[in-house]
Amino acid sequence: MSNKLRYYRREQDISQVELAKRVGVTRLTISNIETGKTKDPATSITLKIAATLGLSVDQVFGTEKVNRDIQEAAR
């Protein structure tokens, strides 16, 4: 999955701790998503992250994540 989370978070001058608080997850969760250790974060988390940053899921996580979620929802 393409992941631009770190880029957008830094662009908005938001720390991992602050983003984690806003999203309702741990700082470690944000770190793991940014570094790719969490390769497929839950849809609810990706939606909260994108909304918190004022961006679309596609902008932050790339079209692969969006397309996979659409396919899963269609099942």
Q: Which fold has domain 5-74?
A: 434 Repressor (Amino-terminal Domain) (1.10.260)
pTM to 2 decimal places: 0.80
| CA quadruple 41, 46, 49, 55: dihedral sign | positive
What mean pLDDT do residues 24-29 have? 98
Residue 1 binned pLDDT confidence (cut-offs 50, 70, 90):
very low
What mean pLDDT do residues 17-31 have? 97
Average pLDDT, the chain: 86
CA distances from 68 to 19, 26, 65 (A): 24, 25, 5
